[in-house]
Amino acid sequence: MSAERITQGIDRDLAEHFQILDTRFLVAIHHGDVDVVKLARQELMNRGLNGEVRWVGFAKAGELLGV
């Protein structure tokens, strides 16, 4: 399965999660005031996961994700 195809599936399946976000947060993302990639990397590190959603431990995840 191609990366594009996976991304499209994720977009459709998870798009409804944006509905619960605060409007101010969405506007900040829209204007580029929030680095959502950095936030995602931080959260993956907090869960001890690498970019392929594999458990690697907190320290290793931070190292791999550049956090």
Identify the band that residue 2 occupies on the pLDDT scale cut at 50, 70 and 90: very low
Q: Specify whether the CB–CB gap between 64 and 50 falls below 8 A.
A: yes
Residue-wise pLDDT for 13-54, tens only, equals 787 888 899 999 999 999 999 999 999 999 999 999 999 999
Task: Report pTM.
Answer: 0.74
Angle between helices 58-65 and 36-46 (to 10 degrees): 160
Q: What is the DSSP string of 3-67?
A: HHHHHHHHHHHHGGGGGGS-HHHHHHHHTT-S-HHHHHHHHHHHTTB-TTS-B--HHHHHHHHT-
Whether the per-residue pLDDT at 9 is higher than 90: the answer is no
Identify the band that residue 6 occupies on the pLDDT scale cut at 50, 70 and 90: low
